[in-house]
Amino acid sequence: MNLNPSADVVTRELRGKVLLVTIDHAPVNALGADVRRGLLAAIEAADAEPAVEAVLIVGAGRNFVAGADIREFGKAPVPPSLPDVCNRIETCAKPVVAAIHGAALGGGLEVALAAHYRLAVDGAKLGLPEVQLGLLPGAGGTQRTPRLIGAQAALDLILSGRHAGAKEAHALGLVDRLGSSGDVLAEGLAYAHELLAAHAPVRRTRDAAALSDRAANLAAVAAARAETVKKARGLFSPMKIVEAVEAAVDQPFEDGLRLERKLFLQCLDSPQRAGLIHAFFAEREVLKAPETRDAKPRALGKIGVVGGGTMGAGIAVAVLDAGLPVTMIERDDASLARGRAHIEKVYDGLIAKGRMSAAAKTDVMTRWSGSISYDALADADLVIEAVFEDMSVKQAVFAELDRVCKAGAVLATNTSYLDIDALAASVARPADVIGLHFFSPANLMKLLEVVVPKQVSADVVATAFELAKKLKKTPVRAGVCDGFIGNRVLAVYRAAADAMMEDGASPYQIDAAVRAFGFPMGPFQVVDLAGGDIGWATRKRRAATRHPQARYVQIADRLCERGWFGQKTGRGFYLYPEGSRSGMPDPEVEAIIETERKRAGITPRNFTDEEIIRRYMAAMINEGANVVHEGIALRPLDVDVTFLYGYGFPRYRGGPMHYADMTGLPTILADIREFAKEDPLFWQPSPLLVELVERGADFASLNQTV
Ligand code: T1G
């Protein structure tokens, strides 16, 4: 009997004495308004219908429920609210069972917690990841979870936002029964009927007793609070989570719910929620390039890597970690042995930390093979070269690849700035050539710039995105230019930092201001980490084409001329005594800066941290706008993802372009025009920024799916 006359996202069907309520709202059963209405109607129907003796809630498709509908946040609320729906589920007069498969996250788990009994099958993922969106569980999760599993376990789950599998959830007490088969519906129905046969009572989670030991739970709250103060790193919602769980321990349920609601709304209003939700959707939108829409990827069974240096070995590790075989090519046996050793060193490090077994390393290394003959690449589906950053060296490698690789093999370069169009033109199959710009360490950094030359075929681009997926990397499509997206923008805001240094701000103040903004490191710390010689080589390379009137700050050159390249030489902008990683300000550097100011005829002035950030961000945003304007990046969100995943941009600020929207483009443009009075050549407003301000539009208006 189908009791469901209305909405099709929640269907109701009587199976014997059990009302089967199925949530069917593609793609992940998010709890949009229709779903909330449907759930409410289902519980009302269950209470009203005598034939119904129990309720079973399941999700259609691959998940139970992914959570609240994130797309609704920031819009006017539409009743019924999820807390009300959860409370109504819990007050149902008949036992309600939730049978979980796939994701039961956020509001999805809160719906299950409001049920009276819970079953989870293998593969289920249960969690309260709201903290990753700048939020907290806002539908009773901070009150019901601790009552079920205690404050400590609840705080661990909610503050980490991690997923717990079915077995862990059962051990914690989040679920009552584990289902072995893949058929969550059959398992759920069987469990519901078993409960009916046993006359199992309505069992409200709000009455659960895991908080009975008040002192122990308050101690857990205090410990979590102390830990959160250290680890929150500027995030707003973690401390609110601790406050909400403390209320669960300390106050009656209804009072705790009221406080949860108040704290949830505070988090909802925080700009951090807007930034984190922008990041959530942006990291999914970047996967949608025109070529991934229009073409299918080629096979990716065997991967070749040419070069066993830092980048080549890192790329090889990323490929091995993805479960793929790698053939590494080096010019001679000694270099090949070094390449293999670089790879083994990564795995030995994991073994030393107890994160990998020796047997697992042996197993991984069976998928590595090496050769000094390119012929070993004859059956590779895709080859990545990561040799010395010199066009002639790379062209020689590509000539060999052209000679030996099978038809249809993808030929990729890891160059960080060379002209890939020129490289493609040097082989007989330019349509198969693409850029795969990894970031060091290549096995850890998530960002992968997929650099698209003019002649490349669409399926090669699609193949690059498929490789990124296999490597668990975040791909961003980039056009060919010097520095593609990330390094091109980096060069500009680094120049802005250099100018401020020469004008009066110390590198140490600039780094501190940038860290306070939310970056893990400031620009001069980054130089010392990466090696000042790399930037020095780039500046020398670009000297011939530098605009004759362009301001050029020579301070970094003075350090490099002394061999002060940073951590690897024990000093750069900072001193690294006994090889320590956290640098100390260097009076000799400050003296060099003073000398350079005098040479440049500059009278130093003070900068506030606020002005440092205004200039630093204006430079980043303006060049980001240029990169979008020139089509190097598809959308502003592609620039955001590049900086979130490759340059340490604080995720809760959503990326430079989202940050610009939140600040207001007119404000950014006004800053640039103000700064242009000192240096009109450097501070040229991007035509895109000017156009958007004239139209009263923002960068988000350009973030449509391509
Ligand atoms: N709301 C809206 N859309 C969502 C969504 C959500 N919660 N989750 C995913 N999507 C979209 C996603 O944008 C993509 O869209 C498609 O679904 C597939 O997603 C009150 C306030 C569930 C593990 O944080 O972790 O509940 O690109 O590519 O890899 O306390 O999606 O196809 O157009 O990620 O199979 C808490 C977020 C919300 C979980 C599935 N819940 N989602 O992974 O697919 S806040 C979350 C995920 C909340 C309450 C609070 C994953 C997944 P498109 P996908 P997947």
CA gap 655, 692 in Å, rounded: 18
- Name the residue with the closest Cα to ligand 1, atom 51: 66
pLDDT of res. 417 = 86
Residue 596 neighbours by CB distance under 10 Å: 18
**Catalytic positions:** 110, 130
CATH number of 486-702: 1.10.1040.50
Nearest CA to ligand 1 atom 18: 27
Mean pLDDT for each consecutive 10-residue tract of the chain (706 residues)? 62 96 97 97 97 98 96 91 97 98 98 98 97 97 98 97 97 94 92 96 94 94 96 92 97 97 96 95 95 94 96 97 97 96 96 95 97 97 94 96 97 94 96 96 96 97 98 97 95 97 98 96 94 89 91 96 94 89 93 97 97 98 98 98 97 97 98 97 98 98 86
The number of the ligand 1 atom at minimal distance from the alpha carbon of 105 is 41
What is the crossing angle of helices 141-149 and 151-160, to 10°?
Answer: 130
Mutation to probe ligand 1, out of 23, 25, 28, 62 (largest number of atoms < 8 A from CB): 28
Beta bridge partner(s), residue 369: 327
Looking at ligand 1, which atom is closest to the CA of residue 705? 33
Strands (E), 580-657: 584-585
| Closest to 397 (Cα-Cα) out of 485, 465, 467, 304 | 304
CATH superfamily of 6-268: 2-enoyl-CoA Hydratase; Chain A, domain 1 (3.90.226.10)
**Residue 71 CA: which ligand 1 atom is closest?**
2
Residues 6 or more apart whose CB falls under 8 angstroms from that of 180 comprise 121, 122, 187
pLDDT of residue 7: 55
Cα of 281 to ligand 1 centre, how many Å? 9
Identify the sign of the CA torsion 516, 521, 523, 524: positive
At 282, list the tokens.
């942006």
Centroid of ligand 1 to alpha carbon of 11 (angstroms): 21
H helical segments located in 68-165: 82-90, 107-114, 141-149, 151-160
Round to whole Å and give the CA distance between 227 and 234: 13
- Secondary structure E strands in 271-356: 303-306, 326-329
Distance CA 11, CA 3 (A): 8
Domain boundaries, the chain: 6-268, 300-478, 486-702
Query: Nearest residue CA, atom 37 of ligand 1?
Result: 66
CA 29 to ligand 1 centroid distance, Å:
9
Query: At 654, which helix (H) or strand (E)?
Result: none
Ligand 1 site residues, Cβ closer than 6 angstroms: 27-28, 30, 63, 66-71, 82, 103, 105-107, 110, 129-130, 133, 135, 137-139, 141, 281, 284
| Nearest ligand 1 atom, CA 285 | 27
Which helix (H) or strand (E) covers residue 534, if one does?
helix 532-543
Counting ligand 1 atoms within 8 A of each CB, the residue from 70, 89, 286 with the most, and so the one to mutate, is 70
- Alpha carbon nearest to ligand 1 atom 16, residue: 27
Ligand 1 centroid vs 695 CA: distance in angstroms? Answer: 33
Q: Which atom of ligand 1 is nearest to the CA of 73?
A: 21
User: For residue 279, is it left (φ>0), alpha (ψ between -120 and 50) or beta?
Assistant: alpha
Give the distance (Å) from ligand 1 centre to CA of residue 277.
10
Q: Whose CA is nearest to atom 38 of ligand 1?
A: 67
- What is the side-by-side strand order in the sheet with 125-127? 103-105, 125-127, 163-165
Answer whether the bond into residue 441 is a cis peptide, omega within 30°: yes
**What is the SS3 assignment for 70?**
helix
Greatest distance between any 2 Cα atoms in the chain: 91
With tokens 């950053």, the residue in question is 389
Quote the ligand 1 centre to 258 CA distance (angstroms): 26
Q: CB-side exposure of 502: number of CA atoms within 13 Å?
A: 20
| Inter-residue contact 370 to 411 (CB < 8 Å) | no
Nearest C-alpha neighbor of 143 from the set 223, 250, 237, 64: 250
Check if the beta carbon of residue 558 is closer than 8 Å to that of residue 551: no
Closest CA to 369 of 318, 410, 320: 320
Q: Which CATH class, in words, describes the domain spanning 300-478?
A: alpha beta
To which H or E segment does residue 437 belong?
strand 433-438
Give the span between the Cα atoms of 344 and 567, in whole angstroms. 23
83 and 257 Cβ atoms separated by less than 8 Å: yes
Q: How far is the centre of ligand 1, averaged over its atoms, from the C-alpha of 37 (Å)?
A: 20
Q: Please return the burial class of 395, using the count of CB atoms within 10 Å of its CB with bins 0-12, 13-18 and 19+.
A: middle
CB–CB of 38/9 below 8 Å?
yes
Q: For residue 539, how far is its CA from the centre of ligand 1 (angstroms)?
A: 44
| Residue 321 Cα to chain centre, angstroms | 19
Euclidean distance between the first and the last CA atom of the chain, given in angstroms as a whole number? 45
pTM: 0.93
Q: Work out which ligand 1 atom sits closest to the CA atom of 27.
A: 17
CA-to-CA distance for 312 and 108, rounded, in angstroms? 43
Query: Which position has the token pair 């697992």?
Result: 360
pLDDT of residue 647: 96
Q: How far is the CA of 257 from the centre of ligand 1 (A)?
A: 24
- Could you tell me the two tokens for 340? 């293999």
